[in-house]
Chain A
Amino acid sequence: MIEKLNIAALLPELILLVMAMVIAMIDLFDTSVRRHNTYVLTLMTLGLVAVLQAFDASEGATIYSFGNMVVSDPMGNWLKCFSTLSVMVTLVYGRPYAAERDMLRMGGELFTLGLFALVGMYVMISGNNFLVLYLGVELLALASYALVALRRDNATASEAAMKYFVLGALGSGFLLYGMSLLYGATGSLDISTVFKSVTSGHINHQVLVLGLVFVVCGLGFKFGVVPFHMWVPDVYQGAPTVVTLLIGGAHKLAAFAMTMRLLVEGLLPLAIDWQQMLMVLSVASLLIGNLAGIAQTNIKRMIAFSTISQMGFVLIGLYSGVVNGNTAAAANAYSSAMFYVVTYVLTTLAVFGIVMLLAREGFESEEIADFAGLNQRSPLYAGVMALCMFSLAGIPPMVGFAGKLSVLQALVSSGQTGAVALAVYAVMMSLLAAFYYLRVVKVMYFDAPITASTVTAGADVRIVLLINSGLLLVLGLLPGGLMTLCARAIVSTLGT
């Protein structure tokens, strides 16, 4: 169903955009230190939009609108729903943290920029046109650069913002250059048209592959996989933790969606080429991410390297889709990757939730050693953090295991040459990873506490954190629902 101007398909985006501006205005009149009105209004907006997205997603319709520029399909809607929830949870965890660091006194930019970043993600997720996708990338990136630099008096934050900006601009440049080459070769910016022309086989293969290389590089920057990972540890460490969580959480969902739009929907006939590239990226990410992760003493840097290796697993899922031009395994592979990335974001949220909970005024709680003896101070939060670490390490029955299982299953059953060897390599790398995840558990449970102060949290943080960590276990024990959801979403996207 193609309509020229279908507002309904973009209703949540429009609501979000309007509300972002309204909230920016209202914030001017909010004089409370913790930006109470802005906060509540932001959460209400996000809640409403998430519900609308979930509603659209369960309708299951694929609607192209605005002259084929954007698409609203179940995969996009679910990813938008999850990234909305992720931003929402981020803001809930992050408000006390931000308030203590004087980030809310001058204005509620954390909330408004967060909303604009989310609009950027929405555009990235639903774009069906190279330029629209690029606009989304830039909107998200600009909001994120500003967010990283939100504590302008803080030297590390400013340094991180600078690095993020320079390398992010480079990444966007790669992406744009790749898109322009593809445009030159196919004569269209529209992803569906590009797909048709590539399928026709009349296009010069070398030009396409040249463009493809640049597109993959750009996507690599957005995912933060090796060798495009240089910004990840510095930005994770330097940014205020709440912003780190935004970058480490919802961003990954948007990057995944854009990869699906560009590589799968646009360039599936070139799968044999981009799959090779993704495999190299994933092998390198698993190695570098996990080896460097072992050496870290700062928890945010450690999670940064862990993210790099976890994204390696997502790429394995994307790598397994097409075998010898046969796309029979595609739905299985891509839905595994989607499941992996969604559950990864869920785990990351809880991890940084705890990190921010332990951070107090004048004390960042960034060193792994700061977690010492957490079990004696607060068994509950230590338990939540342990759950996250075991989940990231992929130990059953946590949800991380279900993710690893589905990705490895997709890889092995794709039957590509060397698939089993790659699977063995991936699990051996997760053995390396287990070491540094276990170290966090060790510090919390086996070491003596350095401070006796108890950990306190507001009711909103506590409830969200409990639901979040509960989901890690529940989804690990009963992953069926989310797996089916991902599979359906991917099938409907591939079917069009």
Chain B
Amino acid sequence: MGLLSLAIWTPIAFGIVLLAFGRDEHANVVRWIALIGALFGLAVTIPIYHNFEIGTSALQMVESGLWMARFNIFYRLGVDGLSLWFVVLTAFITVVVIIAGWEVITERVNQYMGAFLILSGLMIGVFCAVDGMLFYVFFEATLIPMYLIIGIWGGPNKIYAAFKFFLYTLLGSLLMLVALIYLYTQSGGSFDLVAWYKLPLSMGAQTLLFFAFFAAFAVKVPMWPVHTWLPDVHVEAPTGGSAVLAAIMLKLGAYGFLRFSMPIAPDAAHEYAYVMIALSLIAVVYVGLVAMVQEDMKKLVAYSSVAHMGFVTLGFFIFNDLGVSGALVQMIAHGFVSGAMFLCIGVLYDRVHSREIASYGGVVNTMPKFAAFAMFFAMANCGLPGTAGFVGEWMVILGAVQYQFVIGAIAASALIFGAAYTLWMVKRVYLGPVTNDDVKTLTDINTREFFMLALLAIAVLAMGIYPKPFTDVMDASVTDLLKHVAISKLPQ
């Protein structure tokens, strides 16, 4: 069993053990086993990162075995510069989320922890799969644990949110399934991604494929105008669910654009780049404005996620080095920052049981340590230099200016909106005098919460100050991807 398989199946195995044998009577044992499982999962990614060879775009640590012989489906795994960091990110966020749910979840602890561990393994599987059908299986399977997490531990309107999440994303991925089967027949019976990259396709076929993939990935990212599920789901999901959703699940969609849409249908991608750019800019500007008027903190951060992911898709479809690597950096940074933002809201929610901005005010007076963290993550969210949030946005804006000045200028305006909605929220929630009794009786974060937020803070800071390890890993793969996308695949 290779390292990648180990990274996928370790958390899943722990999750299954918890589901099968965990009982609420010994919830603490369950929590510790879950944490050990998550840490094992993270530990496995260290040698993956260590063994990763920088400077080549080739797939590394490849594992291959026949899975469904009749359809020529392989269990084929590999990482390259595009996916490596997401494997690490997923394992890392899982550890944080397990810690975050430690005291909050008291009922059916084994199912909660088990669902997150299984989800973690499945998402790593999505990032490692280099066989179309294997990718699809992992991509779809992630819906099941997330559906249960939202529905069981969610807020008052959880059932609506769980259904919306499941059906909305299923709609997109079913179209992708047809696209995958179509590619399978066109390529003479293969689900191998590398073979698909080389397959010549007519413009009509490319267009249909591009939009089928678009249906799956745009919903997942989510891009404007199919983003409406995200705020609803975030509001109702438990804190851990929101964190994983924002930090990693959204990235599955963006990653899909890089792995499928662009290299498989490059001509269509160029042809419809203007659509993608327009939708991305709308997400950046319009959704940014929508975020500003939210009353609910989780909704605000959810809309801010849509705006930030707009940067990612913008970066992809301007087809230059800065844009694509910037978008990738932005994805990882957003993983840390949005995860942290949701966990901060969770800390407040656990104490006051309200997500309304109006229920707070002057939190800094009673929770100084926590307020410092929250302030720091808010700064990262609006892209302050020195934090992770800055690097990606800056690279994408530079890339956009290279591509076309106007687009760069519009994208840059997002920095202002981002600062506006984030800082305004910070002002209303944390600063000023204590406004009500709830806030007066707040207790500051305990060691567990401090540790959880500190982990994320270190990551955000490290990435902001020294992003080289991230960009170095990506460079070769991004260059190679762009080179591939630049060549037409139309049959001669």
Contact = CB atoms under 8 A, between A and B. Distances in A.
B166 interface: yes
Contacts of A412: 178, 181-182, 184-185
B141 A413 contact: no
A310 to B, nearest CB: 16
Given A405-B133, A413-B184, A442 B69 contact: no
A402 B189 CA distance: 16
B174 A479 contact: no
A427 B178 contact: yes
A405 B181 CA distance: 8
B175 A427 contact: yes
B141 A396 contact: yes
Contacts of B418: none
Counting chain A residues whose Cβ lies within 8 A of the other chain, the interface size class is 35 or more
B197 interface: no
Interface of B: 19, 67-71, 108, 111, 133, 136-137, 140-141, 143-144, 147-148, 151-152, 158-159, 162-163, 166-167, 170-171, 174-175, 177-178, 181-182, 184-185, 189
A438 interface: yes
Contacts of A480: 67-70
Contacts of B159: 442, 446
Interface in A469-496: 478-480, 483-484, 487
A479 B70 CA distance: 9
Contacts of B108: 375
A442 B185 contact: no
A424 B177 CA distance: 9
Q: Which of B133, B182, B184 has the most CB of A within 10 A?
A: B182
Contacts of A142: none
Nearest to B163: A438
A434 B140 CA distance: 13
Given A396-B141, A442-B159, A427 B177 contact: yes
A397 B67 CA distance: 13
A334 interface: no
A446 B151 contact: yes
Most buried by A among B67, B133, B174, B184: B174
A428 B141 contact: no
Interface string A407-428: 0110011010000100110011
A424 B136 CA distance: 16
Contacts of A483: 68-70
Nearest to A336: B70
15 contacts: A375-B111, A396-B136, A402-B68, A408-B177, A408-B181, A413-B184, A423-B178, A431-B174, A435-B167, A438-B147, A442-B163, A445-B151, A480-B68, A483-B69, A487-B70
Contacts of B144: 390, 395
Q: Which of B67, B137, B167, B175 has the most CB of A within 10 A?
A: B137
A65 interface: no
A325 B158 CA distance: 53
Contact of A438 (B19, B140, B166, B184): B166
A412 B159 CA distance: 36
Contact of B70 (A379, A423, A435, A484): A484
Contact of B148 (A405, A409, A445): A445
B71 A406 contact: yes
B4 to A, nearest CB: 17
Contact of A446 (B69, B152, B167): B152
Contacts of B152: 375, 445-446
Given A396-B136, A396-B141, A435-B167, A420 B178 contact: yes
B137 to A, nearest CB: 4
A430 B171 CA distance: 9
Contacts of B136: 396
A274 interface: no
Given A396-B141, A405-B133, A424 B70 contact: no
A164 interface: no
A409 B151 contact: no
A401 interface: yes
A409 B136 CA distance: 14
Contacts of A427: 174-175, 177-178
Given A483-B69, A484-B69, 4 more contacts: A401-B140, A402-B68, A445-B148, A480-B67
A427 B212 CA distance: 12
Contacts of B68: 402, 479-480, 483
Nearest to B136: A396
Given A395-B141, A408-B177, A446-B159, A431 B184 contact: no
A392 to B, nearest CB: 13
Contacts of A478: 67
Contact of A408 (B67, B137, B167, B178): B178
B162 A446 contact: yes
A427 B172 CA distance: 10
A438 B148 CA distance: 10
Given A395-B141, A483-B70, A430 B174 contact: yes
Interface in A426-468: 427-428, 430-431, 434-435, 438, 441-442, 445-446
Nearest to A479: B68
A487 B71 CA distance: 12
Nearest to B172: A431
Contacts of B158: 446
